[in-house]
Amino acid sequence: MSRPRPLVPRSDPADSVRVVGEFGVIARVLARAGTAAAAEVGPGDDAAVVRAADGRVVVTTDVLVEGRHFRRDWSTAEDIGHKAAAANLADVAAMGATTTALVVGLACPPDTPTSWLEGIASGLAAECAPMGAAVVGGDTVASSPDSTGVVLSVTALGDLGGRAPVRRSGARAGQVVALAGKLGWSAAGLAVLRRGFTSPHSVVAAHRRPTPPYAAGPAAADVRASAMCDVSDGLVADAGHLARDSGVVLDLDSAALAQACLEPVGPLQQVGSALGVDPMAWVLTGGEDHALLATFPPNAVLPYGWSVIGSVRAPGRREPGVRVDGKPAADVLQAVGAERPGHVHFG
């Protein structure tokens, strides 16, 4: 493993938000924002106008706080822009929709380099571009005088394309549980960075710039996925939300999970061996990979990229929730050395 190099740009007072001013910052950022195909009126007016061909609009918001969700000595501005967009685009995909536009709010210290904010804009634009989406508006404000951190709030709009929204409450006994995307990579990358290293690059890159399977969400909706969610806080935690909302038990198969996330042997095992961590702990509890978890009828032909990792069972005398190989998830988490089922936002 290699030690990190500083990623924070040198501050140039002439390039700061304080000197350039609000409208100068907005002009520079918008020059990198890209164009949203669904926007009739983009940035520049009091509000944007975005076409909603479906007649319904999917809306989601995510907030990233410096020091909690990102660090400027670990990630470039472009990385952070990608990550901020991905968190929202994955939520839209989990409803069975495609993102059409973003609105961004930013609070930062006045000495923040304008070039750094341009990097954020570039990362947001690059993550959205494959879907024809872009930033269509937002707001900037100076953070409180005693704050040295950046707060980035992103709201995404999405289009269902005629599909029914896929909610968390539709799973039924007898169905299968499936996964699209990877799990545990971002958590492994975070563990590496926390110990002062930057390799293996693949897991560090997964933490800096997650790669959610956006197309898998609408594809799942097209074949009548009954329930779906984005795995942002950890598989056991988010599967638990889906199970409780549906009133069922999701019984995950550890062998199927290992095959989907740990085979062939690769970086997660390498990092786990170096750090003394069972990589299954990252698979079960690691967040921010933004994989998609869904339930399907037992005879459904799963779209490309989806793998069966468990089954849906009636709760019987049990409380709705998550089990692994028929055992309570808490017992399995303890066995692999995981302290909690996922990320705790106010922990």
Flag the least confident range among 3-7, 84-88, 103-107, 154-158.
Answer: 3-7
The single-letter DSSP state of residue 119 is H
Confidence of residue 6 (pLDDT cuts 50, 70, 90): very low
Confidence of residue 18 (pLDDT cuts 50, 70, 90): low
Produce one character per residue of 83-99: b if its CB has 16 or more CB atoms within 10 Å, e if not: bbbbbbbbbbbbbbbbb
Among candidate residues 296, 278, 166, 183, the one with its CA nearest the CA of residue 221 = 166
Q: Supply the Cα-derived Rg of the chain in whole angstroms.
A: 21
- Tell me how far apart the alpha carbons of residues 103 and 143 are, in angstroms, rounded to a whole number: 19
Confidence of residue 23 (pLDDT cuts 50, 70, 90): low
The share of the chain scoring above pLDDT 90, in percent, equals 76
Q: Is the pLDDT of residue 346 over 70?
A: no
* pLDDT tens digits along 131-151: 999 999 988 888 877 777 899
Produce one character per residue of 252-261: b if its CB has 16 or more CB atoms within 10 Å, e if not: bbbebbeebb
- Give the pLDDT of residue 209: 97
User: Which amino acid is located at 73 in the chain?
Assistant: D
- Give the pLDDT of residue 4: 47
Question: What Å distances lie between residue 186 and 87, 103, 321, 333, CA to CA?
Answer: 13, 25, 24, 18
- Give the pLDDT of residue 312: 98
Confidence of residue 24 (pLDDT cuts 50, 70, 90): low
Cβ atoms of 179 and 259 closer than 8 Å = no
| Mean pLDDT, all residues of the chain | 91
The single-letter DSSP state of residue 297 is -
- Tell me how far apart the alpha carbons of residues 34 and 232 are, in angstroms, rounded to a whole number: 26
- Give the pLDDT of residue 1: 53
Find residue 116's DSSP bridge partners: none
Instruction: Identify the residue whose tokens are 């918001």.
Output: 61
Cβ atoms of 113 and 25 closer than 8 Å = no
Q: Is the pLDDT of residue 301 over 70?
A: yes
Instruction: Identify the residue whose tokens are 């040295």.
Output: 148
Cβ atoms of 88 and 111 closer than 8 Å = no
Q: Is the pLDDT of residue 207 over 70?
A: yes
Among candidate residues 128, 48, 57, the one with its CA nearest the CA of residue 88 = 128
**All domains in the chain, ordered by first residue:** 15-159 (3.30.1330.10), 176-335 (3.90.650.10)
pTM score: 0.92
Of the ranges 19-33, 226-240, 331-345, the best mean pLDDT one: 226-240
- Give the pLDDT of residue 21: 62
As given in the structure block, the two tokens for residue 29 are: 């950022």
* pLDDT tens digits along 36-66: 999 999 888 889 999 999 999 999 999 999 9
Question: What Å distances lie between residue 170 and 165, 177, 224, CA to CA?
Answer: 11, 12, 10
Average pLDDT over residues 193-219: 95
- Tell me how far apart the alpha carbons of residues 202 and 186 are, in angstroms, rounded to a whole number: 9
Flag the least confident range among 135-149, 160-174, 208-222, 323-337.
Answer: 135-149
